[in-house]
Structure 1
Amino acid sequence: MKTVNPYKTTLDSGNAYWMARLASVAYIKKDDPEGSPDVAKILANLKQEDPRFSSVTGFSKNSSQAILVEHEDFFTMAFRGTDELVDWLDNFDLIVTPVLLLVEGEKLDGYFHKGFWKATEDIWEPLLAKYQQFQQQDRDKQKDLQQKKVRPLFLTGHSLGGAMATIAATKLIHQDLPFISTYTFGQPRTMTHNTARIINGKAENRFFRFQNNNDMVTRAPARAAGYSHVGSFVYISEDKSLHNDIGWWYRFLDSAEGVIKAIPKKGLDGVEDHSMSDYLQAVESWNWAPNQT
């Protein structure tokens, strides 16, 4: 059984697998108007593979959903994707939200995709409050010698959920709150070039962004609109092997930009290789191409 290495900030097969699993189960929802996370089903699903998962808390507002997953060794904020991503990519392509970032005591101007920022804001306060409540419980147990360490935090998400996870991690950096790493799958770009440089300067080696073959969502909003990714990327080729050679990135980049405009017309169902199940399959296999790490 793959396990999480809870204090490893660098790329790790067990961490990648479980973040993909958690991004996947975040889609399990109740049959209600908001599509709230079905926390009972999610927890039962996770316990079948690892009984050390102990709780799942759901958060839902408007089109935003996330879960806070508690394990004996770690916590994870997992953000759910949505079909409405297509509308946001179409309607908010050129609109950014200005945000004042505090990074290591320095005030810096940041600019984020308006729709993705709002989606994160809708659920951020109660999500962070619940996580901090768990943290305080860990500290209290430390005082009573019932527990040695405060359990660390991971973030993950697929599609829109990946964009939200990236913004959530940025908020943690802004508030000087620790996290181990962020794993995202098929996420769109979330911030401007200059903002990405600020975040990369602080935590580039703790963001891992997986892109499956020809998943065009990862190329939107367009670079020409001023948007950029953060962190390190892992490219999943058609045979499901993993690559971090930049040559694979440019090979995809050269053929991608002209197809992005078709996303709003075709919808996510028409976007090749965007399925979370494809990402999970590749990460579970963890089959690196020759001469890759």
Structure 2
Amino acid sequence: MKPGSLSHGSSTAWGKALRRPAALQPHLPHVRTPPTPRRAHCPPIRCGQVPKTPFEGFVARPPNSELHLGNAWSLAHACELSYLTQDEVRSIAEGRWGLKGLLCYGYGDNDGPDTQCFAAAGPDFIVVAFRGTTSITDWVRDLKVWKLPDGPLGCEAHAGFLEGVQGKWKGRSIIDSVLQGVRDLERQYGKEEGLAIYVTGHSLGGALATLAAAYMLEDPELRDKVAGHYTFGSPRVAGPRFKKRFEALAPAGRALAHRFQNREDVVSKVPAWWRAYDHVGRWWYLAGDDQVLMRNPDLWTRLRDIIDIDWDFQPDFVYDHQLRAEGTGGYIDGIEKNIVRSA
């Protein structure tokens, strides 16, 4: 399958917009004219300028695990890279970004669930990036909204997402394969202090990344090395009990999980809260045309994005879910704007 392509012939704007990584999508005209929202409170750590290359100047252990905009930018690029083929992932991750020990899971032919991710080591960190929705199989998985009791942290979790990490490749569960790969990278490239582990994903990949991070927090060998969990446009994966246990495993005063929502991105709103689902981590919202970064936006800010008039009648939630969207601004675009704004 080509990177980012759907395996069915959906003719909807939603389906078309998700056929390929956002960087490869055609740019459609779009008009938005909302008022400019107020500035963020609890500002993240600024990096001063947009890095020239992903993971250039990556800060493996920011103070108190606060959100680092430069790190967020690099991790969003890792999410984008995950949509490409295995050969392209290797060429870019190792050839351009300087990462080492690349491990790819689920790319090409496999006998298990349609789940793909890669892991690689930097000078003092490991990145694990899960790919988002690319096929009708993924969408069927998304629709399995009931919960199963055998999720991580002793909690129930979304049945479809659990299938995405508990399913088997060549007789071994996906999550066991990924955790073993991370341990191997740590042993091979870790120094005395060890490597800081970052888990990331966009869309469905964000849900899988959340479950994978939870499994790592359960693992005695890995839990103290998990330094960051960054998701972009991720759906909810479990309920309040899971959220409480996940966040309790972070050392006192530290925040491991940071989730980004770009304006009206509908994927971040499902499954519905009234089904007893909840998000984990700190909520960072990209608001308005300028995509001003806000933590825990107030209702009025969100309403202004919801009722924004589009004279071209294009569905905002499609564009807002993309990693890149020229004119409107996807997740990578929004993070770049905030880095430049903070310089």
TM-score (norm 1): 0.77
* Alpha-carbon distance in 1 for matches of 2:299, 2:204: 21
Greater relative contact order (CA < 8 Å, ≥ 6 in sequence)? 2
Q: CA offsets per residue over residues 78-129 of structure 1, 9 Å max, x none?
A: 0000144433333x12x10113755xxxxxx411001111102232111111
Aligned residues of 2:263 and 2:305 also touching (Cα < 8 A): no
Aligned residues of 1:79 and 1:165 also touching (Cα < 8 A): yes
* Alpha-carbon distance in 2 for matches of 1:218, 1:253: 16
2:293 pairs, out of 239, 243, 266, with 243
Aligned position for 1:70: 121
Aligned position for 2:159: 114
* Alpha-carbon distance in 2 for matches of 1:205, 1:129: 25
* Alpha-carbon distance in 2 for matches of 1:269, 1:155: 28
* Alpha-carbon distance in 2 for matches of 1:120, 1:269: 30
Deviates more, 1:121-130 or 1:20-29: 121-130
1:106-185 alignment runs, 5 A limit: 109-122=154-167, 123-138=174-189, 147-176=191-220, 177-178=222-223, 179-185=226-232
- Against the structure 1 CA distance between its residues 136 and 247, is the aligned structure 2 distance closer, same or farther, given a 3 Å change threshold? closer
Aligned position for 2:234: 187
Q: CA offsets per residue over residues 113-167 of structure 1, 9 Å max, x none?
A: 011111022321111111111222246xxxxxxx443222100000010001110
* Alpha-carbon distance in 2 for matches of 1:213, 1:197: 26
Aligned residues of 1:43 and 1:53 also touching (Cα < 8 A): no
3-state SS of paired residue (2:128): strand
The one-letter amino acid of 1:19's match is L
* Alpha-carbon distance in 2 for matches of 1:54, 1:138: 9
Aligned position for 1:3: 57
Q: Which runs of 5+ in 1 are unaligned?
A: 30-37, 103-108, 140-146, 257-267
* Alpha-carbon distance in 2 for matches of 1:46, 1:136: 20
Aligned residues of 2:260 and 2:283 also touching (Cα < 8 A): yes
1:229 pairs, out of 265, 279, 285, with 279
The answer to whether 1:283 aligns with 2:335 is yes
Identity of aligned residues (%): 25
Q: CA offsets per residue over residues 226-260 of structure 1, 9 Å max, x none?
A: 1110000110123243333433466437987xxxx
- CA shift, 1:47, in A, is 5.1
3-state SS of paired residue (2:150): strand
The answer to whether 1:89 aligns with 2:110 is no
- Against the structure 1 CA distance between its residues 115 and 254, is the aligned structure 2 distance closer, same or farther, given a 3 Å change threshold? farther
* Alpha-carbon distance in 2 for matches of 1:63, 1:150: 32
- Against the structure 1 CA distance between its residues 49 and 3, is the aligned structure 2 distance closer, same or farther, given a 3 Å change threshold? farther
* Alpha-carbon distance in 1 for matches of 2:95, 2:189: 25
Aligned position for 2:259: 209
* Alpha-carbon distance in 1 for matches of 2:300, 2:230: 21
3-state SS of paired residue (1:55): strand
* Alpha-carbon distance in 2 for matches of 1:126, 1:101: 16
- Against the structure 1 CA distance between its residues 240 and 86, is the aligned structure 2 distance closer, same or farther, given a 3 Å change threshold? farther
1:13 pairs, out of 56, 69, 78, with 69
Aligned position for 2:14: none
Q: CA offsets per residue over residues 195-236 of structure 1, 9 Å max, x none?
A: 212222223711000001110000000011111100001101
- Against the structure 1 CA distance between its residues 255 and 111, is the aligned structure 2 distance closer, same or farther, given a 3 Å change threshold? farther
* Alpha-carbon distance in 2 for matches of 1:250, 1:225: 24
Whose strand fraction is larger, Structure 1's or Structure 2's? Answer: 1
- CA shift, 1:48, in A, is 6.1
The one-letter amino acid of 2:227's match is I
* Alpha-carbon distance in 1 for matches of 2:281, 2:300: 16
Aligned residues of 2:286 and 2:294 also touching (Cα < 8 A): no
Aligned residues of 1:243 and 1:289 also touching (Cα < 8 A): no
3-state SS of paired residue (1:191): coil
3-state SS of paired residue (2:274): helix
3-state SS of paired residue (1:181): strand
* Alpha-carbon distance in 2 for matches of 1:253, 1:164: 29
